[in-house]
Amino acid sequence: MLGSEILVAALEREGVDTIFAYPGGASMELHQALTRSTQIRTILPRHEQGGAFAAEGYARATGKAGVCMGTSGPGATNLLSGIADAYMDSVPLIALTGQVPQAMIGKGAFQETDFFGMTLPVVKHSYLVTDIADIPRIVKEAFHIAQTGRPGPVVVDFPKNIQQQRAQPVWPEKVDLPGYEPSPKADEVALNEVLGLIEKSERPVLYVGGGIITGEASKELRAFAEATGIPVTTTLMGVGAFPEDHPLSLRWLGMHGCAYANWAVSGEFKPRTNPGDPMELVAPGADLLLAFGVRFDDRVTGKVEKFCEHGTIVHIDIDSSEHNKNKLVHLPIHSDIRYALRQLNGMLSRRPLQKRHTAWHEQIARWKAKGPLRYTAKEDVLSSVHMRDLLAGREQEAIMPQHVLEVLYELTAGEAIITTGVGQHQMWAGQWYRYKFPRQFLTSAGLGAMGYGYPAALGAKVARPDRQVVDIDGDGSFLMNVQELATARIEKIAAKAIILNNQHLGMVVQWEDRFYGGNRGHTYLGDPRNMRAIYPDYVAICKGFEVPCERVAAKSDLRAAVQRMLDSEEPYVLDVITPYTEHVLPFIPAGRTVADMIY
C-alpha cells in the first residue's frame, strides 16, 4: 500500500467517518487516497481555519476526536488557531498536515514550515512521520492520546515522499506508551476527607467545568449534587454539565456570569465606587468550594486572591498540573472526575449525609430574587442612523439582543445545540438560552477565537444531523469565516446562523464605553461614508452563496422570522439588527472582584 493509503486505512480503523480537509501540493496524495474510502466523508472547507473549527464542533458534539487536514506551509499554519483553541478548551482533535519531502526539510523549500516546532506549545502531542512503517502506530497513538485523559489536539506532520512510498502495513493491536497514565484514580482517604468537609460546612458550593463534560460525568455530578443538596455553578465550558432548570443550579459564574453565582462563591459585598475602597461584606459566600474539572480561569476568578477568599477549596482534576497553578487550594486530588464522583456517590449511598444546608439554600434564594438576569429597552437604542431608518414610525420596535435568545429558546423548546462566535453575542447566548444537557453549548472559551461559530455549527450538524444546530454570532465574528457558507451549501449541511448585527465590535465597544470614555478605537464595522446603510449586506452575500437569508429589524417581525429559519431544511442566515449601545451585564471588570460587579 502507498503511505497515503496506509494513513487512510489507519483512520478507518479508528472509526473516523468525517474529515475536514483542504488539499494542496504536499497533501494531494492523501486526498487521492481519501477518494477511494467508502467509510470516510471528506468535507472541503473553504479555509483551513474553518476546517479546524468544524472538526472541533464535530468533536465537542460527539466526544470523539475531530479530524482536519491541510497542506504544508500556509495550509498548515491556517490550522493553527483551531489547534490552539482545541488545546485551551481540551478538545480531542487530530490535525493532519502534508509536509515537503524529507530531503527538502530545513532548506526553505516552497511552502515549507516547521509545523512540528510551531505547534509545540499548543498540542498535547505531535509527530513528524519519518518512516512509512510507523504510520499505523502513530495514528493509533494519536487517537489514544487525543481522546483519553485530559483531551487535546495531536498533530501528525506527513512528508510527501513517505506518502508516495509503498509498504506492507503492520497494524498494532494495542497502544504502548510507558509513563502515560490517562485515568488516575482518587485515593479513598482523600475522598472520605471530602465528605467530612461537606458534613462540617455550612455554605458549600460545587464549581464545575468542562472536565465534567469531557469526562462524561454529568450523570454522576447530578447524583452527587442531589445526594448532598449542594448548589452547582459552572464555568462557560461547563455549561450543560448540570441542567440549568434544576433547583440546585446557579447557572454559570465569572465576568459575565449570574450575580447570584458570584455571590454564592465569593460573598456579597457592598458595591464600591473605586477599586481601592475597602470591601464591605453584606453576606458571606461559600465556606467550602468543590472545584471539579476546572482550571480557575481568570475570567471566572477575577482578582484571584479574592476568589472564594474565606472558603476551603477542594480541587479534583485529571491534570495534576492544574493544581495550585492559578489558585492555591487546600485539598488537591488527582483523579479522573467520573471515577471520583462514582466513588463519592457509592460512599454516600452507604453513609448518607444528614445535613441539608437549609439556611444556605434560603440565602441563595434571596440572592436569586435580588440579582436575576434582566435587561430593559433603552431610550438610546436608536442612536444608530441605520436603525432609525429601518424603524421609521416603529421606534418602540427595536430588537434587544437578549430578546432574540429568549425567542429562540422558546421556539426550540431549549433543545437546540448552540454554537457561538466570540463577543457580546457569545455572553448573551450563554445567559439567555437555558441549557439542559452536555455538549449543547459549543463556544471558543479559553482562546476566544472570533470566527469559530459557524464552522463549529457545521461540524456539530454533521455529527448530530438529528439536532437543530444554531450559531449565535456577531457581525464581526461571522464575517471572519463567512466563506464557510459555501461549504454548507455544497455539502447540504443545514446549520443555521443568527447574526446579532450591531455594526460594531460590540465587546470592545463596551470596554471603550466603560474604561475609555467612549472613544472609538476602530470598532465601527459599517461604512463611515454611508452610515444609513447596513454594511456589509448579508442578504446579498448569502444570495451569492445560494443560502437563504432574511433581515429583520422590528420586534414584531422577529418570531415569525426565527420560525422560518428553524423550519428550513437548508443552511439559513437570519440577520437581526440590534443596537450597539447595549452592554452585557452583569460585568466584573478584568482583575477586579465581586465587589466591583456592575449588575
Residue recorded with cell 458534539: 61
Q: Give, rounded to a whole angstrom, the gap between the first and last alpha carbons of the chain.
A: 63
pLDDT level of residue 492 (50, 70, 90 thresholds): very high
Which of 32, 102, 111, 483 is an active site residue? 111
pLDDT digits (tens, 9 = 90+) for 345-392: 999 999 998 877 999 999 999 999 999 999 987 655 666 777 888 888
Task: Check: pTM over 0.85? Answer yes or no.
Answer: yes
Rg (CA), the chain: 25
Which of 255, 387, 507, 597 is an active site residue? 507
Query: DSSP secondary-structure letter at 120?
Result: G
| Mean pLDDT taken over the chain | 96
Is 48 considered catalytic here? Answer: yes
Q: Write down the pLDDT at residue 356.
A: 79
Percent of the chain with pLDDT over 90: 93
pLDDT digits (tens, 9 = 90+) for 422-446: 999 999 999 999 999 999 999 999 9
Which of 48, 484, 550, 582 is an active site residue? 48
Which of 64, 160, 461, 496 is an active site residue? 160
Half-sphere exposure of 362 (CA within 13 A, CB side): 5
Percent of the chain with pLDDT over 70: 99
Is 503 considered catalytic here? Answer: no
Q: Write down the pLDDT at residue 380.
A: 59
Is 181 considered catalytic here? Answer: no
Q: Write down the pLDDT at residue 391.
A: 86
Contact 302, 326 (CB under 8 A): no
Is 111 considered catalytic here? Answer: yes
pLDDT digits (tens, 9 = 90+) for 55-107: 999 999 999 999 999 999 999 999 999 999 999 999 999 999 999 999 999 99
Ordered structural domains, the chain, with CATH? 3-164 (3.40.50.970), 188-370 (3.40.50.1220), 381-577 (3.40.50.970)
* Cα 128 to Cα 141: distance, rounded to the nearest angstrom: 13
From residue 34, how far is each of 25, 98, 129, 229 by CA, in Å? 15, 14, 19, 52
Q: Is 36 exposed, middle or buried (0-12, 13-18, 19+ CB in 10 A)?
A: exposed
Three-state SS for 461-480 is HHHCCCCCEEEEEEHHHHHC
Is 110 considered catalytic here? Answer: yes
